[in-house]
A and B are shown apart, each in its own frame.
Chain A
Amino acid sequence: MTELAETTNGTDTAVAATVPLTLRVNGKDHDTAVEPRELLVDVIRERLGLTGTNVGCETTSCGACTVLLDDRSVKSCTVLAVQAQGREITTIEGLADGNTLHPVQAAFQRCHGLQCGFCTPGMVMASVSLIDEGRATDEKSVRAALKGNLCRCTGYHNIVAAVLSAADEMEADK
């Protein structure tokens, strides 16, 4: 707990009425304590110091905060941290295998599916999940599935190309 508090961005960890919580993130258990109203994204970023997950809105509209919860993508600004207890959380930091990028990350690099990189962690996590669910069948379905992840830089062209390319590659490797 003290170790975690040091990684915060000034969030007051001494507030009353916190509940103890164990979060399993990227295959590792983190014991922490949170207020019941705290959002998963804030706990991931500020209590666990995993700042790869970004915040781009307050209205669950942009997808910058997308993480995997038991392998399904969720917007972590819509989930209370306490709801994630006992579930497997994967953030962008947990996707690559050491220095080897996950096929979706590699495809984003190959296809130039990112520019500023702010939407990217969320976009990649959403893509991992939609490929996993078999929804990356063609351009139209990828576009529909990524509707909730906004990007201002790429015009989406290369993001869609990256997802289709990764899906092909992952299918071939099965």
Chain B
Amino acid sequence: MESTTVAPPSGVGARQMRLEDPGLLTGRDRFTSDLDIPGALHAVFVRSPVAHARVVSVDTTAATAADGVVAVLTHKDVDVPRVFFPTFGELIDDAYHRVPLASETVRFVGDIVAVVVAETITQAHDAAELVEVDYDALEVVVDPVAATAPDAPLLFPGTGTNLAVDIPFEAGTRAPDAPVQVHQRVAHPRMAVVPMEPLAIAAVPGDGEKLTLWCSTQMPHVTQGLMALWLKMDPADLRVACPSVGGGFGGKTPAEPDYVLVAAIARHLRRPVRWTQSRSENLLTMQARGHLFDVTLEATRDGRVTSIRSEGLTDVGGYPGLGIGMAMTARGLMTGCYDIPHASHVVRCVATNTSPTVPFRGAGRPEAIHALERTMDRLAAELDIDPAEIRRRNFVPVEKFPYTSVMGTEYDSADFEKTLDEALRLADYEGLRAEQAERRASGDEVALGIGISTYVEVSAGSPGMTGDYASVEVSEDGWATVVAGTSAHGQGHWTVYAQVVSDRMGIPAEKVRFVQSDTDTVPRGMGTSGSRSLQLGGTAVRLAADEVVEQAKEVAAHLLEASPEDIEIVPGVGLGVRGVPHRTLEWGELAAAVADDARRPPQLAPRLFADPGFEQGGGTSPFGCHIAIVEVDLQTGMTTLRRFVAVDDCGVVVNPLLADGQVHGGLAAGIGQVLFEYSAFDDEGNPTTTSFADYGMPSAADLISYDTAHTVTPTTRNPLGAKGLGEAGTTGSIAAVHNAVMDALRPHGIDHIDLPLTPMRVWQALQDRES
């Protein structure tokens, strides 16, 4: 056929608008709670109002008799499995495992003691009010330091301690008699993950043992595996599928204890049961962070760091579990961008009578970088060296990559000076320092602060998570279908994978269908977390696309009577013979030919299909430099963010529009954590931040527009040259904003204030200094 002129397909590097958007922008796409599940019952959880108690009795009589109630269940009525994570199996005692429906003891406000199942959600709520629980109070411990005391009340008396994990580490050689030593304690408080769509599930029993879980998760296949393990089911009987997922940020990575409970109840009742988390439940039970770091840096007089000694105490709440992962990840990054010959670190995770913790954007990365970069600024101040300069002096030099840090962490590639220089240039660092000097000299009551943070992370490096699945198939209508094992929930994988297809096959992005997030239609996958998807899923798509092109070339060669080496891609059309413009075959024709026994080359299968998958074998190291510029009113303690410059290097950028979007969201979370956001409990373990009225979730009015830029240092670990970016914004920004506020306040006699830097905290510090 004759080739027609078509607009060039939007491949790698294009600011392609998202294919996902029309469905989301018109309200057509559905989230889990939007699904129509015929005959579904509604579950409401009765949660403990006390932080630590023995459950004496649960009286369900009145609730059971209430209108529309189908069942009121306690641990005596339904077999609910223990929830545990095999990854941490060697790290913690089995005694810490949680049974999501508590039996004898409740360990945090929010622990579930009963479940009401009713015909309507209103009836379930009304009946839940009627469940009478008698608690016998136990001594409460909320403060993680207090929880480590020898006489602290124990959450799991059988273990003899609240310290679920206590792992020392030391490596390298410590230079004797370091001339300079600084120590900084850095608190990294609890916060809430707050995806705008809370958790939601509908558990629908089918024939025999079959069970379908429609749910909001980042990891359908991992959820399938863990659920099957816990519920002692054959994974083949369990389908996990997600419609649209309204954000995750790490809070939807675990197979949620709440989901196990709903699944167990649906199986018990043999009826579909649905549950949607309320916002107050979400703010209470989806919490993260919660670390206390003690960092000591030793250095030479010219600011070369010779040793880092650190300890982390991580509050993992009432049931030590996933929270431990963040402490371990943080350990791996404690030396950050710096070439430090000696390090020691202790990971300690402690149980307290507060909500169990889950991952949140960065998941250990921001924690480590925050602690380290805060302390680097203390060292700079101690030695009177500019914060940019002290970092430069300690960077791992570019010729040392791939580099294994003294913590044993591998960084595949980076150029720290490049991002630092670019950020300094964009921020006009010298100009800012001059303005600052001038304002300080004039006694300005509004102090200017400039904060720098340089960071490195490891993306897609978690053991067992370094590869993923994708298939590409071309059908007779000329469209390509991508099936991916990653599971997007806002990241725009459809769009970027389509760009990869477009780049490799010449099929326009608009003609790419996308299938994900359903264990019935996706053979395997590890979901989306830890900034893994583009580099692993995108590469898997690329490899599959390349194989399909090879198959198609054989078909075209066969039909056009040419040699496969002479067949080339004709973008927007299909394949053609090199140098012969009119001899082309459209993709649809090629797919039809391969399905036809008469026209298929004998060596080919009857589909244009490939799914080789991709195994990277390890992680990649995104890095960057963030600079925050703040003004702190010395009268009120109010911090105003004036400008934020983020230079991130995630290797090759497939879609700059989406890459910037990832950074923006990450920055908002990091800035929020420094200035407004925290989850809190009183001394009795009562949560005090369980509504948006109390929790400082940042709004548009609290934030500014950001200056983002990228340098490009491609990785060689995958053929796309891409690294992760989803967490970078948060990893870099926390220390930058914190350092900026401290930079403003240092001439006023304040060296450190712990987060969050609310006006009250800052004002109080200024007062304390005067008294």
Interface residues of A (CB under 8 A from B): 7, 9-12, 45, 49-59, 61-62, 64, 91-93, 95-96, 101, 105, 108-110, 112, 114-121, 124, 139, 142-144, 146-161
A62 touching B490 in the complex, CB below 8 Å, given contacts A115-B661, A117-B20, A154-B664: no
Across-interface contacts of A59 in B (CB, < 8 A): 279, 691-693
Bound state CA distance, A139 and B706, in angstroms? 13
Is the CB–CB distance between B27 and A155 below 8 Å? no
B52-60, B190-198, B435-443 - interface stretch: B190-198
Max chain A CB contacts within 10 Å: which of B245, B692, B693, B729? B692
B35-43, B345-353, B506-514, B632-640 - interface stretch: B35-43
Taking a contact as CB atoms closer than 8 A, the residue among A10, A11, A56, A95 that contacts B26 in the complex is A95
Is the CB–CB distance between A109 and B705 below 8 Å? no
Bound state CA distance, A45 and B667, in angstroms? 33
Is the CB–CB distance between A52 and B661 below 8 Å? no
Q: Does B183 contact A (CB under 8 A)?
A: no
Q: Does B709 contact A (CB under 8 A)?
A: no
For residues 1 through 52 of chain B, which have their beta carbon under 8 Å from a beta carbon of chain A? 17-18, 20-22, 24-31, 33-37, 39-42
- Nearest B residue to A120, CB-CB: B24
Max chain A CB contacts within 10 Å: which of B27, B29, B196? B196
Bound state CA distance, A155 and B249, in angstroms? 13
Is the CB–CB distance between B194 and A152 below 8 Å? yes
Bound state CA distance, A39 and B476, in angstroms? 49
B426 to chain A, nearest CB (A): 16
- Nearest B residue to A61, CB-CB: B692
Is the CB–CB distance between A11 and B20 below 8 Å? no
Bound state CA distance, A82 and B290, in angstroms? 45
Max chain A CB contacts within 10 Å: which of B24, B279, B657, B692? B24
Bound state CA distance, A156 and B668, in angstroms? 8
A9 touching B22 in the complex, CB below 8 Å, given contacts A53-B27, A62-B692, A139-B705: no
Taking a contact as CB atoms closer than 8 A, the residue among A50, A108, A143, A156 that contacts B27 in the complex is A50
Taking a contact as CB atoms closer than 8 A, the residue among A11, A57, A115, A144 that contacts B701 in the complex is A144
Is the CB–CB distance between A119 and B196 below 8 Å? yes
Is the CB–CB distance between B692 and A150 below 8 Å? yes
Q: Does B658 contact A (CB under 8 A)?
A: yes
Bound state CA distance, A92 and B85, in angstroms? 41
Is the CB–CB distance between B691 and A57 below 8 Å? yes
Across-interface contacts of B194 in A (CB, < 8 A): 152
Across-interface contacts of B668 in A (CB, < 8 A): 152, 154-156
Across-interface contacts of A50 in B (CB, < 8 A): 27
Taking a contact as CB atoms closer than 8 A, the residue among B22, B31, B278, B667 that contacts A54 in the complex is B31
Is the CB–CB distance between A152 and B665 below 8 Å? yes
Is the CB–CB distance between B68 and A92 below 8 Å? no
Bound state CA distance, A53 and B28, in angstroms? 10
A103 to chain B, nearest CB (A): 12
Q: Does B323 contact A (CB under 8 A)?
A: no
Taking a contact as CB atoms closer than 8 A, the residue among B33, B196, B700, B706 that contacts A9 in the complex is B33
- Nearest A residue to B705, CB-CB: A157
Is the CB–CB distance between A152 and B27 below 8 Å? no
B116-124, B301-309, B388-396, B564-572 - interface stretch: B116-124
A54 touching B666 in the complex, CB below 8 Å, given contacts A10-B42, A10-B120, A124-B25: no
Across-interface contacts of B28 in A (CB, < 8 A): 52, 93
Q: Does B699 contact A (CB under 8 A)?
A: yes
Bound state CA distance, A150 and B700, in angstroms? 8
Q: Does B703 contact A (CB under 8 A)?
A: yes
Across-interface contacts of B41 in A (CB, < 8 A): 10
25 intermolecular pairs with C-beta atoms under 8 Å apart: A7-B36, A9-B33, A10-B40, A11-B120, A12-B68, A12-B119, A51-B27, A52-B28, A58-B279, A92-B26, A96-B26, A105-B25, A105-B26, A115-B492, A115-B661, A116-B24, A117-B490, A118-B246, A118-B247, A119-B196, A146-B700, A150-B196, A152-B665, A153-B661, A154-B664
Max chain A CB contacts within 10 Å: which of B28, B658, B661? B661
Across-interface contacts of B20 in A (CB, < 8 A): 117
Q: Does B491 contact A (CB under 8 A)?
A: yes
A160 touching B700 in the complex, CB below 8 Å, given contacts A61-B692, A118-B197: yes
